[in-house]
Amino acid sequence: MTQRTTPAAEHLAELISCRTVSAADERDEAEFVRFRETFARLYPLLHERLELTMVGGSMLFRWPGTSAEKPIVLMAHYDVVPAPAEQWRRDPFDGAVVDGAVWGRGALDDKGHLVAVAEAVEQMLAADVVPAHDVYLSFGDDEEVFGDAAGRVVDHLEQRGVRPWLVNDEGGAVVEGAFPGVKGPTAMIAIVEKGTVDVELLARGAGGHASTPPRDGATARLARAIVRLEENPAPARLSEPVVEMMRHLADLTPAPMGAVLRRADKVNRPMAMLLGRLGPETNAIARTTMAVTRLSGSPASNVLAQEARATVNVRLAVGDTIEQLTERLTSLLEGLDVEIASARGANPPPVSRTDNEAFALLTKVIVEELDGAAPVPYVQTGGTDSRHFTRISDAVYRFSPFDMTREQRDAIHAADEHLRVDSLERGIAFFRGLITRHA
């Protein structure tokens, strides 16, 4: 069977083969160098005609426009999370184009987005297009480890007086079934993201031989703490950006549900509880979430743990803070002899505007280039590098112009990640349209 492919799909496949894994205990700098060298070969005009500033391993390109006023920033990152090969149907770093899709780690998060931006710019450069306004491309290398390269890029721009008129990063996508009763595809544009905090819980013990275990050892106390967190989720509530999402969905939903969504602010608590029951994605929008992601204890099977640790990845809802989180955890852990060893991360950034020309442009291009998908603002549950740009812009949005099924969304940070070739091509057209229509 002949597999449909395009030059852009082949470029993405080749870039996926660069193992730019970014994790606390895994990072091969040679692979990051190989990515940048491959990227330069695949996009020669971008490198010849744009101004490149390196910020560590992150790339910041400036494409001078007719005017330096109202600049836009298009963001992506090229580091990826680990991909245990045994969990995948095919090698996660093969970058194979199979069944009309590009498969591999980073296809969706976030090399596909990066390629869509780069292809759009390369094609416009080949046609000798000069944008009406400066365009910046910010491609990060440490997003997956909550790094600070994007913050240093913002420092660089701020020192030069650059105030972006619009910033777009990875984020929501074009989806079906965003909410029960909603008809047609919706383009979910994140106008804010949740805060990201890693909390380390610590239980101490005396250690010793596992053949004579004491009652209430470190691992048992830590286990009880984890169960208590699981059984006591943060209360559900609708923040203002979630209420705004509901108002937009109301226009796409028949009565009587549409009427209920339009009054979401009046039925905040019941609506938030409903979101919590509809599934993991909507539940995460309605509350602060906590997920235990790493555990450690004894170094050997026959040794009692002197320290048992758990990492809890917390996503703070808009309006919640690290200080409030610490107070709540302290209360929940009372009497368990488990301490909060650290709480590192960031509060939710400011909410971006939806009543400005930048958001109007973004939604216009979505409707025109993405088969009439209805734009809907929402709260992104994952963290992005774009949080740093809220220091210098009130128009920071998070939208990936790809159709994503539930299966594809579930594959992000999991096995069998893939991006359809036709969706990649529409994404390229979207970025061309965004640059061209910003006149």
Choose among 151, 190, 142: nearest CA to 26: 142
Contacts of 101 (CB under 8 A, 6+ apart): 107, 418, 419, 420, 421
**Burial of residue 204, with CB atoms counted within 10 A of its CB: 0-12 exposed, 13-18 middle, 19 or more buried:** middle
**What string of DSSP letters covers 101-160?**
EEESTTTTTTHHHHHHHHHHHHHHHHTT---SEEEEEEEES-GGGT-SHHHHHHHHHHHT
Q: What share of the chain is helix, strand, coil (3-state, %, to 5)?
A: 40, 25, 35
CB burial readout 395-428, b (16+ within 10 A) else e: bbbbbbbbbbeeebeebbeebbbbbbbebbebbb
At position 64, the amino acid (one-letter code) is P
Cis peptide before 128 (omega within 30 of 0): no
The pair of structure tokens assigned to 130 is 């000069």
Choose among 225, 233, 109, 119: nearest CA to 173: 109
Is there a catalytic annotation at residue 79?
Answer: yes
Catalytic residue selected from 143, 169, 369, 417: 143
Give the helix/strand (H/E) hosting 248: helix 240-250
Assess contact for 164 and 87: CB atoms under 8 A.
Answer: no
Assess contact for 196 and 345: CB atoms under 8 A.
Answer: yes
Choose among 245, 253, 258, 133: nearest CA to 187: 245
Is there a catalytic annotation at residue 407?
Answer: no
Give the residue numbers annotated as catalytic, written as ranges.
Answer: 79, 143
